[in-house]
Structure formats: structure tokens, C-alpha cells
Amino acid sequence: MLTKSKYLIGLKCPKYLWVIVNAKHTIPEAEDSDKLRFAEGTAVGKLATTLFSGIDLSELDFKDNIAKTEKSLKLKKPVFEAGILVDDLFSRADILKPVEGGWDIIEVKSGTKVKPENIHDLSFQKFVYEKAGLKIRKCFLMHLNNEYVRKGRLDVKKLFTQTDITSEVEDVVDIEDRIELMKGIIAKKACPKLQIHDKCEHPYKCPLMSECHGFLPTDNVLKLYRLGKKSFKLIESGIYAIKDVPDEFKLNSNQEIQRKCARSNKIHVDKAGIKSFLKKLKYPLYYLDFESFNLAIPPYDGLKPYSQVCFQFSLHVQDKVDGPCKHYSFLASTGDPRKEFLVELKKVLGAKGSIVVFNQSFEINRLRELAELFPSYSSWVESAVNRVVDLIVPFRSFFYYNPIQEGKYSLKKVLPAVTGKSYEGMEISAGSDASLEYMWITHGLPWRKKATEKDIKRVRENLLEYCCLDTEGMVWIVDELWRIV
Ligand code: SF4
């Protein structure tokens, strides 16, 4: 049987399709961030159905769902998750809505726009329903409206927007051929041998990456900065390691630095570039980092779908190069943390001196969103924004490059590259983990047990330790850059 989700997997990769049907047990368990995405998708889907008065078949098992679908369709009412099985093809649309002379398919997604995979999703469903004899008039994607700003009670009608994608769906050709091809792949005795490709990480990261990409060396050509599809051409021609990329293969200046470092196993340093960055720093320095979470369904007033909510900051203040630091931190407890976050930040951010952040757009955007919500803080926020200096610059500009960065310049890669220290061994070692853990202890996560007092205490300690390292790490990096020049 080919379901819609398997069809979409088949479009991504025949090997993944074969494995999900024939060797599902070998697929690693989904990561917590994926589980959150699935849980949010389910919640959004359920919320969308409250806008229709219909028959809900979502909780039924496979057989009951098919049997009840047949009966429900006769009632000419909207049906949620109407399951149709025809010629080994199975489709179950989120909402099937009766219209003059037929049905409209409405697929609910937790994204904020139509994506190419949504067109394929609907085209498969339309194909299956029509094969079973239903007349499909139009296809809609019902997705979150990124213009909606919550004010008071959640306005479910305004939270969603429906986009008519019938013509895009009808433009999809060769569905039948693709289905036949996929059925053939599923029926094969052995997993198809396949080269890795540019869809392994797009539109989402394949769970089989560690297995399929395992043959590549650590410093492999996929890590050449922004080389894109050309890196797969190198792999096809048998060139896996950056050091082996031939001289005649054209690289841009940053990629050239990577190749030079890979061959010499040495660090690249552009002292003039680093000096030009350090000149921008005005002591005392305020090293600042925010942690936030975001949810598809905005939990508080003033938020759009997926707006970020800051719940924690860490601040290290240093008066002179290599001098001692004072540390300040804030971690919200429960409820809407935004006002308290801003009040506490204003108390400790001083009036002059550079505010050093890593990847400034995140902190600047969060500050400006808070100023919009609390206008009495707007002039203070603008003066703070004008003091921001972005520590990512020397690394994004490749003024400093260590091969262990593997073509990346995030703080998690730069800290060990410059100082030899890292986040290894910490309970929380990434921003996405910090948001998840915070959400667990404040809002709960559907796949985890309720956090106990002990859990809350432990997670809060871990959060404080993690965010503190983000800003302390920046202090060490800047001190090291001074030493280098
Ligand atoms: S990692 Fe790539 S090649 Fe391997 S199964 Fe996934 S998509 Fe296919």
C-alpha cells in the first residue's frame, strides 16, 4: 500500500522509501525537535477543524476509518480524515468538504505559506479520491496566517488562511508513472543502492543521514562553505575530502581558505581583518545572549504564529581586555516572561559601551519586538541596538578559520576552534535544547511526563549553566582575538 506520506518520501528519495516500508526498525527515533513539530502539526490540525461542523474520523483505526468514511460521505457533511483505499493507494485528507456537485479537499498545515511539497501532497490525494470515483472541485491549503497578531482570545478564523492551489495541483503530471515506479521500489528484495544527493537535507533532514553519509571523511566537500549542488558533483567524481579538491576546481575566496587549511592542517588568520573588528569594540563590553521559544499557535497577546518569546538572558560585563567579568542572568519562571525580561535587562545593560552578541539579527529583532509591545521602552531599546557589535563578523568573513569549524561559524563551532573549550558534556548544549527544556518545565511536552519539582530545579540549573557559557565563551573568544593580533 502506498500512502500519501510514503509517496512524499518517495519523491525525496527511493532509498528512504524502501527503508521506511521494508526496514522501518532501522530508522533512528525522531529527535525531540521533530517530535515538537509533529505535536504542533496535530494541534494545528485539530484547531482548524473547529471552524467546520463535520464528522471526525481521525481517532479510528485503519479498517474502521475506511468503513465509516463510506457511510459519512453519503451524509454530505465535512469529513475530517476521510480514508479511501483504492488499488493499493491510500489517502486521508484533513478535511473533505461537500460543495455543489462534488468535494473540496482542504489540507491543513502548520506552516505559514504554500511549499512545493504541499502541492505534491494535494495532487496525490486528489488522484486517489478521483480514482475512487469522487468528484474533486478544488484543492485548498489551509495554513497559518503570518499576519495574524493575537489580541485577547485566540481568533481561530483569523489564525488561518486558505490558499486555493487547484491549478498548481492540476499542473502536476506523471503521478501515475511515479506511483508505479514507487510500487516497484517498495517490492524490491534489496535496498536500492543510491548515491547521496541534494535532497538528503531538504526540505527536511533525512533520519538516515548518519548511515548514508558515513563514508565521507569529517572534512568533506559538503562542508565547503556555500558550494551547494557542486559539492555533489565532486562526490560523484570520487572526490570526498576538501584537501583532495583539485587546484583547477574553481572555489571562492572562503572555500579557498578551507582548502588551504585542510591541506596544511593549519589555522588561517587575517590579522588586519581581526584588528578592524576589534577597533569597533568600546569598553566596558556587555556580552549578551538571549534564549527564546516559539510556538505555531501564539500563546500570548502581541504574538504572531512562530513569534519568538524571550525567557532568559545572560550578561557578562568586562571593563578592560583580559579583565575580570561581572555576571548577570535572568530566567523566567512561569507565564508570559516578556515584560520582566525587559525590565531586568534594562537594569543591567548600562548606558555606554559595546553590547557584544553573536549573530546580531536575533538579539536586535527580539529587542525591537519587545519595544513594539512596550512602547515606553522604545527609545532605550534603540539606544541599546546602536551599541550592538556582532562577534560573528570576523568568523563569517573568514578573518579566522580553523578546519575544526567544518565550514561553519556558529558560536558552537567557533568557541572550540578559538579557545579549545566546548559545550561537550553539558546537559543542555544547544539553543534548540534550551527552548525545549524550558517549554517542558513551563508548558509541558505531549510525549514527556509532567516535570516534577526536582526536574524543574535541575532544568533551571542546566539552563543557567548553558546560557552563561554562551556569554562567557564570547569573552574568551574576544580575549583570544586580542592575543592573536
Ligand atoms: S540520507 Fe539521503 S540517500 Fe540516504 S536515504 Fe536519506 S535521502 Fe536517501
Examine the domain organization and report whether 323 and 427 are in the same domain. yes
For residues 125 and 132, give the distance between their C-alpha atoms in angstroms, rounded to a whole number.
11
pLDDT-based confidence at residue 153 (cuts at 50, 70, 90): very high
Would strands 2-3 and 89-99 be described as parallel, antiparallel, or unpaired? parallel
What 3-state class would DSSP assign to 181?
helix
Residue 204 included in any domain: no
Query: Using a 6 Å cutoff on CB, does residue 206 contact ligand 1?
Result: yes
Q: Which of 224, 246, 266 is the last residue of a domain?
A: 266
Q: Establish if 196 belongs to a structural domain.
A: no
Q: Please tell me whether residues 319 and 366 are part of one structural domain.
A: yes
Same domain, 350 and 463: yes
| Residue 109 and residue 258 share a domain | no
User: Based on the domain organization, do 255 and 292 belong to the same domain?
Assistant: no
Q: Hey, CA dihedral for 211, 215, 219, 225, is it positive or negative? A: negative
Cell of 321: 581586555
**Residue 209 Cα: closest atom of ligand 1:** 1
For ligand 1, the distance from its centroid to the CA atom of residue 203, given in whole angstroms, is 12
Question: What domain range is 362 assigned to?
Answer: 267-485
Residues in the chain: 485
By most ligand atoms within 8 Å of CB, the mutation choice from 8, 24, 196 for ligand 1 is 196
Residue range 36-44: mean pLDDT, rounded? 95
Residue where one domain finishes, among candidates 134, 167, 187: 187
Mean pLDDT over each residue of the chain, to the nearest integer: 96
Tell me what pLDDT residue 194 has.
86
Local structure of 287: helix, strand or coil? strand
Instruction: Clarify whether residues 482 and 406 are in a common domain.
Output: yes
Maximum Cα–Cα distance across the chain: 78
Distance separating alpha carbons of residues 288 and 318, to the nearest angstrom? 11
Residues 363-367, mean pLDDT to the nearest whole number: 98
- Bridge partners, residue 86, by sequence: 89
Which 3 state secondary structure label does DSSP give 288? strand
Among 53, 311, 44, 54, which Cα is nearest to 154's? 44
- Give domain status of residue 209, yes or no: no
Is 79 within 8 Å of 69 (Cβ atoms)? Answer: yes
Decide: residue 197, CB within 10 A, 0-12 exposed, 13-18 middle, 19+ buried: middle
Residue nearest (by alpha carbon) to ligand 1 atom 4:
212
Ligand 1 geometric centre to CA of 235 (Å): 15
Q: In this model, does residue 334 exceed pLDDT 90?
A: no
Q: How far apart are CA 361 and CA 422, in angstroms?
A: 24
- Whether 23 is in the pocket of ligand 1, judged by its Cβ within 6 Å, is no
How many angstroms separate the alpha carbon of residue 413 from the centre of ligand 1? 25
Grid cell in block for residue 164 = 486555493
**Going by C-beta distance under 8 Å and a sequence separation of 6 or more, which residues neighbour residue 183?**
2, 88
Place of cell 527609545: 379
d(CA 370, CA 63) in angstroms, rounded, equals 51
Say which CATH number the domain at 440 has.
Answer: 3.30.420.10
Q: Which of 8, 199, 201, 231 to mutate to test ligand 1, by most ligand atoms within 8 A of the CB atom?
A: 199
- 3-state DSSP assignment of residue 131: helix
429 and 300 inside one domain? yes
In a domain, 459, yes or no: yes
Residues 393 and 262 both lie in one domain: no
Residues 6+ apart with CB under 8 A from 367: 381, 384, 385
By most ligand atoms within 8 Å of CB, the mutation choice from 194, 204, 210 for ligand 1 is 194
Element (H, E) at 483: helix 453-484
Segment 263-271 shows an average pLDDT of 97
| Beta-carbon contacts of residue 232 (< 8 Å; ≥ 6 apart) | 195, 196, 197, 198
Give whole-number Cα distances, 183 to 117, 130, 177, 179, 443, in Å. 20, 19, 10, 6, 43
Residue 64's CB is within 10 A of a number of other CB atoms, namely: 12
The C-alpha atoms of residue 305 and residue 148 are separated, in whole angstroms, by 7
Domain assignment present for residue 278? The answer is: yes
Q: What is the CATH number of the domain that holds 55?
A: 3.90.320.10
Helix/strand/coil for 70: helix
Q: Does one domain contain both 169 and 234?
A: no
Give me the residues paired with residue 399 across strands.
none
> Residue 146 — pLDDT band, cuts 50, 70, 90?
very high
Q: Are residues 241 and 164 in the same domain?
A: no
Residue 141 φ then ψ, to 5°: -105, 120
List, for residues 70-116, the tens digit of each pLDDT value: 999 999 999 999 999 999 999 999 999 999 999 999 999 999 999 99
Q: Would you give the distance in Å from CA 104 to the centre of its chain?
A: 31
Residue 393 counted as domain residue: yes
What is the whole-number distance in angstroms between the Cα of residue 441 and the centre of ligand 1? 35
Mean pLDDT of 296-321: 97
Residue 135 and residue 249 in one domain: no
Q: Which atom of ligand 1 is nearest to the CA of 206?
A: 6
Contact between 99 and 76 (Cβ < 8 Å) = no
Q: Could you identify the atom of ligand 1 that is nearest to the CA of residue 199?
A: 7
Q: Is 475 in the pocket of ligand 1 (CB under 6 A)?
A: no
Contacts of 468 (CB under 8 A, 6+ apart): 314, 327, 329
Instruction: Work out how many domains the chain is built from and give that number.
Output: 3
Considering the domain architecture, whether residues 142 and 285 belong to the same structural domain is answered as no
Cα torsion angle, 189, 192, 193, 196, sign: negative
Pure H helices in 237-359: 253-264, 271-278, 338-348
Which amino acid residue places its CA nearest to atom 2 of ligand 1?
A: 200
Q: In 3D, which of 165, 172, 196, 138 has the Cα closest to residue 16? A: 196
Residue 145 has pLDDT above 90, yes or no: yes
166 in any annotated domain: yes
DSSP assigned state of 248? T
- Positive or negative CA dihedral for 174, 176, 182, 185? negative
Measure the N-to-C terminal CA separation of the chain; round to a whole number of Å: 64
Residue 210 belongs to a domain:
no
CA–CA distance, 484 with 45 (Å, rounded to integer): 54
Q: Which amino acid is at 98?
A: P
